[in-house]
Structure 1
């Protein structure tokens, strides 16, 4: 799993971007990729782990989990 930081998340549009810790690139994330119970949203600055997969317009985040302290 890769790790990164949420850089942007538009709750009304249900998508955002996660910056990868390793290569510092930003990748698209859609709310359906969040693997948490209940209401699915991300907060700017939140730490996450995820995988990358090919989407319609390039690589995007899938299987997104919130980092646990």
Structure 2
């Protein structure tokens, strides 16, 4: 799993971007990738762990979990 920080997340459009803590690249994330119970959303500045997978338009975040790190 990779570690990153939520840089942007639009609650209305249900997507955003996570910046990787190691390479500082930003990757697209869609709300369906968030593996939390209930209403899934991310807040700017939150730390997350995630995996990358090839999406329609390049690499994107999948299996996103909130972390306390």
Whether TM exceeds 0.5 here: the answer is yes
Q: Does 1:38 align with 2:32?
A: no
Q: Which residue of 1 aligns with 2:14?
A: 14
TM-score, normalising length: structure 1: 0.98
User: 1:29 & 1:14 partners in 2: Cα distance?
Assistant: 9
Gaps of 5+ in 2: none
Unpaired runs of at least 5, structure 1: none
Q: Distance in 2 between matches of 1:64 and 1:3?
A: 10
> TM-score, normalized by length of structure 2?
0.98
Instruction: Give me the whole-angstrom Cα distance separating, in 2, the residues matched to 1:67 and 1:47.
Output: 6
Moved >2 Å (runs of 4+): none
CA-atom RMSD in angstroms:
0.7
Give the equivalent residue in structure 1 for 2:23.
23
**In the alignment, does 2:64 pair up with 1:60?**
no
